[in-house]
A = this chain, B = another copy of it.
Amino acid sequence: MDRTEAEEILQSAPFHDFLGLSFADYERGRVVVNVPFRDELVVNQEHGILHGGVLASLLDIAGHYAVLSQAGARVPTADFRIDYLRPATTASMTVTGEVVRMGSNIAVANAELSQGNEAERRTVAVGRGAYGVSHVE
A binding-site residues for B, Cβ under 8 Å: 12-18, 39-45, 51-54, 56-58, 60-61, 76-87, 100-101, 103, 105-106, 108, 126, 128, 130, 132, 134
Residues of B within 8 A of A43 (CB): 13-16
Contact A81 B78 (CB under 8 A): no
Contact A56 B80 (CB under 8 A): yes
Q: Which residue of B lies closest to A100 (CB)?
A: B85
Residues of B within 8 A of A41 (CB): 14-15
Residues of B within 8 A of A13 (CB): 42-45, 51
Contact A12 B108 (CB under 8 A): no
Distance (Å) between the CB of A106 and the closest chain B CB?
Answer: 5
- In the complex, the count of this chain's copies comes to 4
Contact B80 A79 (CB under 8 A): no
State in angstroms the CA–CA spacing of A56 and B105 once bound together.
Answer: 22
Residues of B within 8 A of A85 (CB): 100-101, 108
Residues of B within 8 A of A56 (CB): 53, 56-57, 60, 80, 82
Contact B105 A105 (CB under 8 A): yes
Residues of B within 8 A of A15 (CB): 40-43, 51, 53-54
**Partner of A81 from B18, B81, B105 at Cβ < 8 Å:** B81
Contact B45 A53 (CB under 8 A): no
